[in-house]
Structure 1
C-alpha cells in the first residue's frame, strides 16, 4: 500500500486519492507465508471448488465489468464524485471488516487459515489507519455508506459470526479473484488516464493470491480431511459476488 498523501497536496486531487486508496480487500500472500504453509499460487485444479464457484457466478463478474464505474474509469472519464463516493463508502466496509477478520482469525483452528485471515486483518487495519488522514476525517464514524455497501458489510459479519472460520474464505474469494480478473479483461490504461495508478494497483494485479486461497481449500478437504458444505459455500460465495457487482453498479447512482 502506498503511503498516504496530504489532502492539501498540490495538483490533481484524484492523483492524491489514487495513490492512497489501494484497496485492502485483496490479500498479498507473501513468499514467507506461502513457503511456511506450502501454499501454491498457481491455478487450482480445473474441477476444484474454486473454479466451480467462479464459473457458476461468472455472469456477475461480467456485469461488474460492464458497469459505468469500471468502463468510465478505464476510459479516464469517470466522474470524480463517483470515484470518491465509491471509496468513501467502501471505507465503511473496510472499517467494519477489520473487526470481522480479527474475529474469524481468532476462531480459526487451522494454522494456514489463521495466517491467511491474519494477513487480511492486518491489511484492513493498515488501510483504516491511512484513510482518515488521506480524506481529512477524524474517523469513519461519520461515513454513511450506500445501502448495498451496508448490506454487504452486515452479510460478511453474519458469516463470520454464525459460521466456522473457513466459510469466511468464501465471503472474501469473490473480491479476491474478481478484481484481478477485471484487470485481465481491460487494456492497460493510457499514461494520461488520471485513474491509471488506481487501476494498476487494484486491478492489474496477480491472480496468485486468490489461487493460494483456492489451493488451501483443496488441501483443507483432501489433505487435512476437513469437510466443507459445498452448498453453503456456494450460497455465501454467490451473495458476496452479487454485492461486489452491485457495489460497482451503484457507485454512479446518486
Structure 2
C-alpha cells in the first residue's frame, strides 16, 4: 500500500512538471489577459498628461485661438495622408494572416474616406502645400520605422494609441454645444476602437513580444502628447 502511494505521488509530480501541464497553465493565463487592455492601462500616465496639455485645456474652455486650431488641423491632415498611404501598402503585403489583411484593408478604406473628405472640406489638393512641423514628422517617422522594421502586427499596435486616445478625449473633454470646438468632441465621442483592434490584438497576443508592443505603443502615445503640446507650446 505504501509503495502504491509513493508511485501515485511520483506520477502526479511528473504530470505537474511535464511540458504539457506548463503549456496548459500558460493557456489559462493568456485566456484571462487582454493585450488590447494591458497596453492602454500601462500608459494611462501619458493619456492623463495629454488631456492636461494647454492646447486641449484651452479648447475645453473655448479660449483656444482659432489660428492655432487651424494649424493643428492642417498638421493632422499631413499625418492622415501619410498614414493612409502606409495603410494601403500594408494592405497589399503578402504572407499575412487573413484577419490581419482584412484589418489593414478596412483601416485603409476608412482612413482614405475620412482623409479625402477633410482635404475637400479645406479645399486642399494635396499635402505638398503643407509644411509639417517637427512633432508630426517624428510621429509619421515612427510609423515608417515600425512598418519597415517589424512584423505587420506591430503596425496595428502602432495605430492603436491614436484610436484610443482620441475616443478618450471625446468622452472626457468637458465641451458644451455652445463651445466653438464642440465638433472635436462630437466627432470623437462614441467611437469604439475595440471593434477594430481588440479581437485582432488579443487573438495574436501569443505571438507578440509584449515588451516590444508596449514600447511601440508608448512611443506612439508620446508622439500624440507631443503633437498636442507643440500645437500650443
Q: TM-score range by the shorter chain?
A: 0.7 to 0.9
Q: Does the CA-based 8 Å contact 1:90-1:145 persist in structure 2?
A: no
Once structures 1 and 2 are overlaid, which stretch shifts more, 178-187 or 71-80? 178-187
Deviations 1:98-122 (A, max 9, x none): 1111122222612222122112211
Structure 1 residues 4-15: aligned runs within 5 Å: none
- Structure 1 or 2: larger helix share? 2
Normalised to the residue count of structure 1, the TM-score between the two structures is 0.74
Counterpart-to-counterpart distance in 1, 2:115 and 2:191 = 23
Q: How many residues matched? A: 202
- Matched residue, 2:204: 220
Deviations 1:30-68 (A, max 9, x none): xxxxxxxxxxxxxxx873222222122111101110012
Deviations 1:171-194 (A, max 9, x none): 01111111122233233x322111
Counterpart-to-counterpart distance in 1, 2:98 and 2:89 = 15
Q: Return closer, same or farther for 1:150/1:252 CA change in 2, 3 Å cut-off.
A: same
- Matched residue, 2:191: 206
* Aligned with residue 149 of structure 1, among 136, 143, 148: 136
* Aligned with residue 170 of structure 1, among 130, 153, 157: 157
Q: Cα offset for 1:144?
A: 0.8
Structure 2's unaligned 5+ residue stretches are: 1-30
* Aligned with residue 118 of structure 1, among 79, 100, 105: 105
Counterpart-to-counterpart distance in 1, 2:106 and 2:196 = 13
Q: Which structure would you say has the larger Rg?
A: 2
Normalised to the residue count of structure 2, the TM-score between the two structures is 0.80
- Matched residue, 1:89: 75
Q: SS at 1:250's partner residue?
A: helix
Q: Does the CA-based 8 Å contact 2:80-2:111 persist in structure 1?
A: yes
Counterpart-to-counterpart distance in 1, 2:47 and 2:215 = 16
Q: Does the CA-based 8 Å contact 2:170-2:184 persist in structure 1?
A: no
* Aligned with residue 246 of structure 1, among 219, 226, 233: 226
Q: Does the CA-based 8 Å contact 1:73-1:195 persist in structure 2?
A: yes
Q: Return closer, same or farther for 1:82/1:73 CA change in 2, 3 Å cut-off.
A: same
Once structures 1 and 2 are overlaid, which stretch shifts more, 105-114 or 92-101? 105-114
- Matched residue, 2:127: 140
Counterpart-to-counterpart distance in 1, 2:119 and 2:35 = 38
Structure 1's unaligned 5+ residue stretches are: 1-44
Q: Return closer, same or farther for 1:136/1:206 CA change in 2, 3 Å cut-off.
A: closer
Deviations 1:194-248 (A, max 9, x none): 111221112x1233x2354123222224xxxx61111211111110000011111
- Matched residue, 2:34: 48
Q: Does the CA-based 8 Å contact 2:46-2:222 persist in structure 1?
A: yes
